[in-house]
Copies of this chain bind each other. A is one copy, B any other.
Amino acid sequence: MAESLNLATVYVSDAQYNRNIFFDTSPQAVRLYLLYNHWIMQMLVYVFIITNLALALLEDPAVVPVPIWATSTIEIICLSAFTARLVHYAKVIPKEKFWKDPKNICFIFIVTLSFIDLTIYGALKAAGYFGVRWSRVLRPLLLVNVTEGRQLRRAFRSIRNALPQISYVFFLFMFSVLVFSLIALKLFGKRGLLTIDGSSYFTDYFEIVFDLYVLMTTANSPDIMMPAYNYSIFFTIFFILYIVVNTYTFMSFFLAVVYNNYKKYLKEEVRQLVKARRFKMCRAFSVLQEAWGEGGELMVSQAKWNLLVKLVKPNISIAHRELLWSVLDDQKKGHIGKLAFVQSCDLLSIQVITVRSQAHPLLNCFPFVYNSAASRFIHHMVRHRMFVYVYDAIILINAVFIGLDEENPVVSNAEWGFLALYMLEIILKLYATDPRLFFARHQFWNWFDTIIVVSALLGTIINSALKHAGGYTSRQILDIVFIFRVLRLVRLVDSIKRFRAIINTLIKIGPTILTFGQLILVVYYIFAMVGMELFKGKIQYFEPNSTRPGQEYCGNPLLKGTTFAKLNYCKNNFNNVVSSFIVLLELTVVNQWHVLTSGFTAVTHVSARIFFVLFHIVVVIIIINIFIAFILEAFLVEY
């Protein structure tokens, strides 16, 4: 009995969390499987993955340099944990299933290669040779191939599916760039025009191709056009045509192709998920079913169902469980059929906000005071619309005060007043509403308000204590207090209905954006690892007061007089993983990416452009479009 209940629980919770694992159904395997899916185990996996990824902060080129033995030890621990997790998984599912699953093969591959690389690197370093930690580019792929990375795998699958269509459009686009470049070469090449820095204009075919690729991204507009425009106004036709065709039409085409595929694929995925969920619920039913009545109909009794629900959702209240049962067993038979049982999966997923009509704690303690006329007046006041308006007005006035100079004593004293008013608001609300309702899980804005106000209050108190104690003001504490103060203004958004709707949409698409964040992390990490190997130490940043020479050309004479150095981009380098990520973000934003590229090609070789163009294709053309497709679809569904 306990075993069949365990099995049914596993099926139901797999259906709930859309897990798609064909585990062994032997009692022992089921117990192992339950352990495998325990939240602590899952959290541990992510802790190890994040630790493993974070090693890049300590490894050469490091943010915080640490001896190799330390990073190696941490990495070995992480890799061992991954191995243990995989062995656990192998014990849960049948052998033939295990070896057929590409994600397991990938996982083994990554872990093995990491061990090999680590050994080789350690040996090379011990012998004093040069070594490259090439397996670091594989690390983020663990995020994809881990059992829990379902959403991320789906995102990658959707990219893979869109890839053929994207590549057709991309080749046509590249063909167009090549043809336009040929025209540009012949139109401008022989006219002896000069660019703003005095170099010859449009005379080398491959330079033109790159320049026009950059123009497609708009990053060198209108500068690239100016010499031709200054020569003759008719030449602008060439550039206008180019921008209309390549920037607007092709770029919209890319979005359209991605969106089209995403939509098509999403529908198919949802269909598959629903099918798999139903299948699992049927399996759970067949485990728990009993013949009932004269017809021998297969049913599940309320008692069994209750036990199941208690195991699947331990935190569910009895009232909630009873409610669900009454929905399923609408004829009050005491047992349900297959159809109703399958439905119970969706019912269990619904978030029910249980409004307990309990009395306010103060009413229990001081019934006489709480029911007095004065108390009733407070209740009435807090619930009145004017209360909201008054506080909106206070926030607006506060906004003006925030804009003023905080060293003015009037302003800094007013801050205490505002804090008192906000605390009063929270206290009044807590007086009028049951605190358990006020701080219910879905009450986003109440939590937001309280945290912001209390944090600001604490910060202000600490700051003024420090000031009185030693006349010392911490800039950091002031900054943090200040940010809390400004965040209070965000509350205004909640007062305007239309804004609230937009914010709710944003909150709802949050989980999707999280998946997207992981996707971006994987791609950034890979490019950062490659970028660091290619460009580390080539461009240096010196503090403004540094006495070391070469500050004006980022410590590399090859950058003398370049736009990169002139714009003071020295800190945009690949000298550690954090600055690499910042450079990649700047490249994602696209603006000035050709200047960044020019800096790195100047200190290495012109072929370094490949790295940057590849990044542009992968991140801007593919991933950002996927992101927009994400948001478009989420918006169309939610808004």
In the assembled complex, A26 has its CB within 8 A of some CB on chain B: no
Q: In the complex, are the beta carbons of A591 and B205 less than 8 A apart?
A: no
A631 and B226 contact, CB distance less than 8 A: no
Q: Which residues of B contact A259 (CB under 8 A)?
A: 632, 636
A319 at the interface (CB under 8 A from B): no
0/1 string, A539-573, CB within 8 A of B gives 1: 00100100000000000000000000001110110
User: Bound state CA distance, A26 and B492, in angstroms?
Assistant: 62
The interface residues of chain B lying within 8 Å CB-to-CB of A572 are: 222
Does A486 contact B182, Cβ atoms closer than 8 Å?
yes
- Asked if A243 contacts B589 (CB within 8 A), the reply is yes
A249 to B631, CA, bound (A): 8
For the complex, give the distance between the alpha carbons of A503 and B247 in Å.
16
A260 lies within 8 A of chain B by Cβ: yes
Interface membership of A457, Cβ < 8 A: no
Can you name the residue of chain B whose Cβ is closest to the Cβ of A222?
B586
Partner of A172, one of B248, B249, B493, B578: B493
Answer whether residue A179 sits at the interface, using C-beta atoms and an 8 A cutoff: yes
Bound-state Cα–Cα, A210 to B512, Å? 31
Min CB–CB distance A486 → chain B (angstroms): 5
Count of interface residues, chain A, beta-carbon cutoff 8 Å:
78
Q: Are B243 and A639 in contact (CB under 8 A)?
A: no
Contact assessment for B632 and A252 in the assembled complex, using a CB-CB cutoff below 8 Å: yes
> For A490, what are the chain B residues with a Cβ–Cβ distance below 8 Å?
179
Task: Find residues 387-408 in chain A having any chain B CB closer than 8 Å to their own CB.
Answer: 399, 402-403, 406
Q: Which residue of B lies closest to A488 (CB)?
A: B179
* B187:A589 contact, CB within 8 angstroms: no
- Decide if A590 is an interface residue (CB 8 Å cutoff): yes
Knowing A248-B627, A571-B226, the reply to whether A256 touches B591 (Cβ < 8 A) is no
Interface flags, A170-197, vs B, CB<8A=1, else 0: 0110010001001101110000000010
B-side contacts of A578, CB under 8 Å = 233
Q: Does A218 contact B (CB under 8 A)?
A: yes
Question: How distant is A460 from chain B, measured CB to nearest CB, in Å?
Answer: 14
A179 and B452 CA atoms in complex are apart in Å by 15
DSSP majority for the A interface?
helix
A168-B218 CB under 8 A given contacts A568-B226, A639-B256 = no
Known contacts A175-B493, A567-B196, A639-B256; A589 and B403 CB within 8 A of each other: no
Q: A172-B499, A175-B492, A635-B253 given as contacts; is B233 within 8 A of A482 (CB)?
A: no
| Nearest CB of chain B from residue A189's CB, rounded to whole Å | 10
Tell me, yes or no, whether A220 is within 8 Å of chain B by CB.
yes
Whether A592 sits at the interface, judged by CB under 8 Å, is yes
Q: Chain B residue with minimal CB distance to A260?
A: B636
Is A221's CB within 8 Å of the partner chain B? Answer: yes
Indicate if A25 sits at the interface (CB-CB under 8 A). no
Q: Which residues on the B side are within 8 Å of A196 (C-beta)?
A: 567-568
The distance in angstroms between the C-alpha atoms of A483 and B499, with both chains bound, is 53
Complex alpha-carbon distance, A259 and B636, angstroms:
9
Instruction: List the B side residues contacting A207 at CB < 8 Å.
Output: none
Taking the closest CB of chain B, its distance from the CB of A256, in whole angstroms, is 4
Residues facing B in A271-326 (CB within 8 A) are none
Pairwise interchain contact A591-B628, C-beta atoms closer than 8 A = no
Q: Contact: B502 with A590, CB < 8 Å?
A: no
Q: Which residues of B contact A585 (CB under 8 A)?
A: 240, 243
Contact of A567 among B223, B579, B628 (CB under 8 A): B223
**Residues on the B chain within 8 Å of A37, using CB:** none
Distance from A554 Cβ to chain B, minimum over Cβ atoms (Å): 12
Contact A479 B187 (CB under 8 A): yes
Chain B's nearest CB lies how many Å from the CB of A235? 10
* Cross-interface CB contact of A168 among B230, B240, B502, B628, cutoff 8 Å: B502
Q: Is there contact, CB below 8 Å, between A221 and B591?
A: yes
Query: How far does the alpha carbon of A360 sit from the alpha carbon of B429 in the complex, in Å?
Result: 91
CA of A632 to CA of B253, assembled, Å: 7
Measured in the bound complex, the distance between the Cα atoms of B175 and A182 in whole Å is: 47
- Chain B nearest CB from A148 CB (Å) reads 24
For A578, give the chain B residue with the smallest CB separation: B233
Give, as a whole number of angstroms, the nearest-CB distance from A208 to chain B: 11
Contacts known (A230-B571, A253-B631); A185 close to B403, Cβ less than 8 A: yes
Q: Which 10 A-B pairs have the closest CB atoms?
A: A256-B635, A252-B631, A168-B498, A222-B586, A218-B591, A221-B591, A221-B589, A186-B482, A252-B628, A256-B632
Q: List 19 A-B contacts (CB under 8 A).
A: A171-B499, A172-B499, A175-B492, A175-B499, A179-B486, A182-B486, A182-B489, A186-B486, A187-B483, A205-B403, A221-B592, A222-B572, A229-B571, A230-B571, A233-B579, A236-B582, A243-B589, A249-B506, A257-B635
6 more A-B residue pairs beyond the given contacts A196-B568, A252-B627, A263-B636, with a C-beta to C-beta distance below 8 A: A221-B589, A223-B567, A226-B568, A226-B569, A260-B636, A591-B591
